[in-house]
Every structure is written in structure tokens, then in C-alpha cells.
């Protein structure tokens, strides 16, 4: 069953991995997935997800997941950057 809901703190690692898998395909990254993840993690990519509560929920934003039979299949978020400015991810 498809469900859209806020992410839970224990799902961050799974959600990040999904985002990296999608980026690997979208950006035609030729590295193996694990190597690509290590590279982007070292650069601080997705560091906002290290504390989703602070980065999104406490900041007037939201971080959602779409699940199919409890497996995360998609993510989406809105994060406030400044007064009147947000980022859709």
C-alpha cells in the first residue's frame, strides 16, 4: 500500500541511500554506488539530513517519504532558507 508521511529519525540512512542511488543514475555517475556515496558524504552532501528534525521540522519545513509496503521508494522536502525563501528538494 502506498503511503505519504513524514520521515522518522530511524529512516534517515535508508532515505539518503535512495537519494544517492537516484543521483547516480540521473547524473550518469560511473562509479560504483558505495564509492559514489563515500565521495559525496566526504563533501558534506545531504548533511541537512544528519539532523532532519532541526533542518526541516523545527525550521518550518517538512521532509516526506513515500512508501510502498513500508519500503521507502521516494523522498521530498521543503526547507526554509530565510524569511520568505524556501528550497524544494
**18-34 tens-digit pLDDT:** 999 999 999 999 999 99
What local confidence, expressed as pLDDT, does residue 89 receive? 87
What local confidence, expressed as pLDDT, does residue 79 receive? 92
Please tell me the pTM assigned to this model: 0.88
2-88 falls under which CATH superfamily?
A: Gcn5-related N-acetyltransferase (GNAT) (3.40.630.30)
What local confidence, expressed as pLDDT, does residue 77 receive? 97
Averaged pLDDT score across all residues of the chain: 94
Q: What are phi and psi of 41, to 5 degrees?
A: -65, -40
Share in percent of the chain as helix, strand, coil (round to 5): 45, 30, 25
Amino acid at each position: 500500500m502506498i503511503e505519504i508521511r513524514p520521515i522518522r529519525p530511524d529512516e534517515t540512512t535508508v532515505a539518503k541511500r535512495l537519494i544517492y542511488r537516484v543521483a547516480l543514475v540521473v547524473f550518469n555517475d560511473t562509479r560504483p554506488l558505495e564509492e559514489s556515496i563515500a565521495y559525496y558524504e566526504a563533501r558534506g552532501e545531504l548533511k541537512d539530513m544528519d539532523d532532519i528534525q532541526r533542518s526541516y521540522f523545527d525550521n518550518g519545513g517538512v521532509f516526506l517519504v513515500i512508501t510502498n509496503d513500508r519500503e521507502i521508494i521516494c523522498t521530498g522536502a521543503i526547507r526554509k532558507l530565510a524569511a520568505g525563501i524556501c528550497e524544494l528538494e
